[in-house]
Structure 1
Amino acid sequence: MAPNVIVFFTDQQRWDTTGVHGNPLDLTPNFDRVARTGTHATAAVTPQPVCAPARAAIQTGRYATATGCFRNGIPLSTSEQTLAHHFAAAGYATGYIGKWHLAERDPVPSHERGGYEHWLAANLLEFTSDAYRTIVFDEAENPVALPGYRSDALTDAAIRFVADHHDEPFFLFVSYLEPHHQNELDNYPAPEGYAERYAGRWMPTDVAALSAPGGPAVQHVAGYCGQVKRLDEGLGRLLDALRSMELSERTIVAYTSDHGCHFKTRNAEYKRSCHDGSIRVPLALCGPGFDGGRRIEDPVSTVDLPPTLLDAAGLPVPPSMQGRSLLAAQRPTESFFQVSESELGRGIRTRRWKYYVTAPGADPWTSPAADRYVEHELYDLDSDPAELTNLAGLPSHRPIAEELRERLVNRMVAAGESAPVIDPAPTRAGGQRRADPTVRTWDVRPTRFGHQR
């Protein structure tokens, strides 16, 4: 029997809110169980750290410049084939619940719903709802008020969908707003009493190092953590519902997010930068094909999720998809990402290195790509996981930058872009730093007692 598929999709959730990534607050026991017993991509990266482009990629398996949806405000073309189209063609009931952010307006007209048959969603859920007032729209574009805290309301709707379709194969995409901020208030409204649990208890290392006293992170991390906790409780309820309906063993559940959150420490917004605070997200799957405790240590992209889900369901992966199935034997050892709106940038992340270039003078709101870029940032994630020391332009790291530059150009071309010129970063003094150019350190693999090639 064909497996059911559910995507549990959060908004703006950092990877290090999860226990399997060392968070000390016990925010995500249900996600952690999925990651430990299922398949955990330990270094998952979004292909674009802003809502609409990331969502277009996770619906189509194609990069933002390929779909044309390279920034917010550009609807996903109706010519694009989404996961819903592929699963529906295979006889699945398809459903979408929550935030869409790929249409021109609310309510979302039927032709802009990406092929989803059952619909209970809003294009911009942050503007049609708040924490305890959830308004979405049904297939007839009628407003529907869902009771309860917002993430609970969407989880309730997801459980109803599963119950209604338990006797047929289904594909459900449930898209939460949490732990995104409430735009008009610029805060992170957790359920009553939840922010108080986490006030002053934890802050990400990069955010703690870069935050101003009394800044956004100090004000909002506790509420953000409270939102993550309630999301994880919702995941637990959904998994319990699958178990009670005897669907656990034939349902794939994938959990991930569109991008991260750096709490205005890298720019004037919460994302839209090359740093892990913006681009690194949780990603784990359980169910048929994914159980057994597998860990994928090389970086992967959420653009890989669509071909993965089709592959796991035994459906053909269209050649137009640019992601690679996580079930494939051979995969790239780095993830490629694009940045828009704040700046026009391109980058790759390997296990050890982050390499990033920007296009000076380009308008990141109107230009999807450029012919010329300049090296902007280089980080050694082994020694500097918080990305506080930019190594771009240091003579000691020039050989590494040159190798990564070639790999980045190759990934840009593979994504459908023209091969650009990338100028080296201006040379600057590096003190006592030294990198051995004879050791391909980006290919080194960790062992228990050190490193080996």
Structure 2
Amino acid sequence: MKQPNVIVFFTDQQRWDTTGAHGNPMGLTPVFDRMAARGTFLAQSFSCQPVCGPARSCLQSGMYATTTGCYRNGIALPEDTPTLAHYYKKAGYHTGYIGKWHLAGQEPVSAQRRGSYEAWLGANCLESVSDAYNTILYDNDDQEVFLPGYRVDAMTDASIRYIHDHKDQPFFLFVSYLEPHHQNHRDDYPAPIGYEERYRGGWTPPDLQALGGSVYQHLAGYYGMVKRLDEALGRILDALISMDLEQDTIVLFTSDHGNHFKTRNGEYKRSCHDSSIRVPTAVQGPGFWRGGHMENLVSLIDLPPTLLDACGIEVPDAMQGQSLMPCIRGQASGWQEEVFIQISEVQVERAVRTKRWKYSVHAPHKDGWADMGSDEYEEYCLYDLLSDPYELTNLIGMVSHRKTADHLKARLLRRMEEAGEAVPVVRDAPAIQSGQRRVDTFEIHA
């Protein structure tokens, strides 16, 4: 079997509901939507750690952030941790990385901190060394490289050059954009010139309508960034067609986490809500064509084994996710019924998300920056996603939902143990009388 090329198109802080495939009416993502229709659309896709560095550690290694130790930003991925590049290089691929890394703790990123990638044009903290129209990356020799144009376009140009230069051998290319992440030093979402104006007063997701946050300041620029990313995706797909590589190349589009626009805490992520953890994900290429619309609950941790499996590369035992390939081929039963989320920095929190329920616990006596976990937690959140899909009413402690919380607690403890964490004590939330609310037995397991 011919080895397929692989491209990971990785965005930063992109909400799931920015795409037309998820119902956004703004026309931001026609390329993604077509990719989702022609390939495999993972409609229920979630980050397992909604913050930049930890999420990247999970996607590069296939292991939870508490396993590698990269549970918060600023912790370098251990040099002996095998990455996707390691496995692809071992299988005969050339490997390339372009963009934001956030796993080294140094700038520029030294060769031993690049996760085994061979061709390198990256920056550890791209938002600190570049701006929307001033793209600075570092090459294999640690030399500063200025790329002209809007940052998304500049990185896309470099990606197309890499594809062209390596089109005659199997390659694995990871393109890690900063957009639609905010520009840190001025807390702003700088879209390409003229793009923000297109989306002022546009459709606003219901959670942001209800909770406000910084949405009226930032959403138009954010949408403009999403639009340009979709155009960049189209340019890369066009380049594959022009080089006769489309049918031989797997392209994965996903993001590290979402964006709640300061509605759940004082910034943009690091919460258990879908606005933080749910991301747009679609795949096309060999093994994924006409895979259809999948409603399986998929975690970021499942994508590394899926990519390796799709290329006929043995999935290492160290990886803690599951390959989706049996599901896509129609050969699997018993797929996971929930995704497991670890949350750090603002607090120590753990959560499970099922198709209907969201349940989380936190450790208020711990420091989310200093402490990776805890041996004791308190119940924190419970949402019924059937009646409250935008998580506006926290049901934790309600007497009517006690059995539901107990059931989800058991599932959370099981997932924590499977992830390698010690099984903690979880204290029930104080009881709240529930009025007319009730939960029938059959609903608890949904």
TM-score under structure 1 length normalisation: 0.96
The residue correspondences of 1:74-153 to structure 2 (distance < 5 A) are: 74-153=75-154
Aligned counterpart for 1:414 among listed residues 408, 413, 418: 418
The count of corresponding residues between Structure 1 and Structure 2 is 439
For residues 79-127 of structure 1, what are the alpha-carbon distances to aligned partners after superposition, in whole Å with 9 as ceiling and x for unaligned? 1100000000011000000000000211100000000000000001001
* Alpha-carbon contact 2:287-2:310 (below 8 Å) kept: yes
Question: How far off is 1:296 after superposition?
Answer: 2.0
Letter in 2 for 1:222: A
| Aligned equivalent of 1:447 | none
Does residue 396 of the first structure (1) align with residue 400 of the second (2)?
A: yes
Q: What's the RMSD between the two structures over aligned residues?
A: 0.8
Distance (Å, rounded) in 2 between the aligned partners of 1:300 and 1:389: 25
Please state whether the residue corresponding to 2:253 is helix, strand or coil: strand
Letter in 2 for 1:248: E
Distance (Å, rounded) in 1 between the aligned partners of 2:443 and 2:62: 31
Does residue 355 of the first structure (1) align with residue 356 of the second (2)?
A: no
Distance (Å, rounded) in 2 between the aligned partners of 1:293 and 1:90: 25
Does residue 22 of the first structure (1) align with residue 26 of the second (2)?
A: no
For residues 370-403 of structure 1, what are the alpha-carbon distances to aligned partners after superposition, in whole Å with 9 as ceiling and x for unaligned? 1111111010111101100111111111111111
Distance (Å, rounded) in 2 between the aligned partners of 1:239 and 1:373: 46
Distance (Å, rounded) in 1 between the aligned partners of 2:252 and 2:293: 14
| Aligned equivalent of 2:36 | 35
* Alpha-carbon contact 2:403-2:444 (below 8 Å) kept: no
| Aligned equivalent of 1:294 | 292
| Aligned equivalent of 1:337 | 341
Letter in 2 for 1:424: D
| Aligned equivalent of 2:232 | 234
The residue correspondences of 1:217-366 to structure 2 (distance < 5 A) are: 217-328=215-326, 329-330=332-333, 331-366=335-370
* Alpha-carbon contact 1:351-1:442 (below 8 Å) kept: no
Please state whether the residue corresponding to 1:40 is helix, strand or coil: strand
Distance (Å, rounded) in 2 between the aligned partners of 1:130 and 1:241: 26
Please state whether the residue corresponding to 1:65 is helix, strand or coil: helix
Question: How far off is 1:293 after superposition?
Answer: 4.0
For residues 325-362 of structure 1, what are the alpha-carbon distances to aligned partners after superposition, in whole Å with 9 as ceiling and x for unaligned? 11132421110010000110000111111111101211
Distance (Å, rounded) in 1 between the aligned partners of 2:445 and 2:52: 30
Letter in 2 for 1:73: G
Distance (Å, rounded) in 2 between the aligned partners of 1:439 and 1:305: 31
For residues 178-198 of structure 1, what are the alpha-carbon distances to aligned partners after superposition, in whole Å with 9 as ceiling and x for unaligned? 000000110000000000000
Letter in 1 for 2:431: T
Question: How far off is 1:295 after superposition?
Answer: 2.1
| Aligned equivalent of 1:367 | 371
For residues 290-311 of structure 1, what are the alpha-carbon distances to aligned partners after superposition, in whole Å with 9 as ceiling and x for unaligned? 1114222121101111000000
Aligned counterpart for 1:442 among listed residues 433, 441, 445: 445
Letter in 1 for 2:64: Y
Distance (Å, rounded) in 1 between the aligned partners of 2:417 and 2:291: 34
Larger CA deviation: 35-44 vs 1-10: 35-44
Please state whether the residue corresponding to 1:42 is helix, strand or coil: strand
Distance (Å, rounded) in 2 between the aligned partners of 1:334 and 1:206: 22
Distance (Å, rounded) in 1 between the aligned partners of 2:367 and 2:252: 35
* Alpha-carbon contact 2:14-2:259 (below 8 Å) kept: yes
Question: How far off is 1:254 after superposition?
Answer: 0.2
* Alpha-carbon contact 1:307-1:323 (below 8 Å) kept: yes
Runs of 5+ consecutive residues of structure 2 not aligned to the other structure: 327-331
Distance (Å, rounded) in 1 between the aligned partners of 2:36 and 2:394: 32
The residue correspondences of 1:424-443 to structure 2 (distance < 5 A) are: 424-436=428-440, 438-443=441-446
| Aligned equivalent of 2:155 | 154
Does residue 378 of the first structure (1) align with residue 379 of the second (2)?
A: no
* Alpha-carbon contact 1:12-1:259 (below 8 Å) kept: yes
Distance (Å, rounded) in 2 between the aligned partners of 1:7 and 1:389: 36
Please state whether the residue corresponding to 2:293 is helix, strand or coil: strand
Letter in 2 for 1:442: H
Runs of 5+ consecutive residues of structure 1 not aligned to the other structure: 444-453
Distance (Å, rounded) in 2 between the aligned partners of 1:337 and 1:392: 18
Distance (Å, rounded) in 2 between the aligned partners of 1:442 and 1:239: 41
Question: How far off is 1:216 after superposition?
Answer: 1.6
* Alpha-carbon contact 2:4-2:311 (below 8 Å) kept: yes
Please state whether the residue corresponding to 1:262 is helix, strand or coil: coil
Distance (Å, rounded) in 2 between the aligned partners of 1:431 and 1:132: 56
Please state whether the residue corresponding to 1:34 is helix, strand or coil: helix
Letter in 2 for 1:352: R
| Aligned equivalent of 1:449 | none
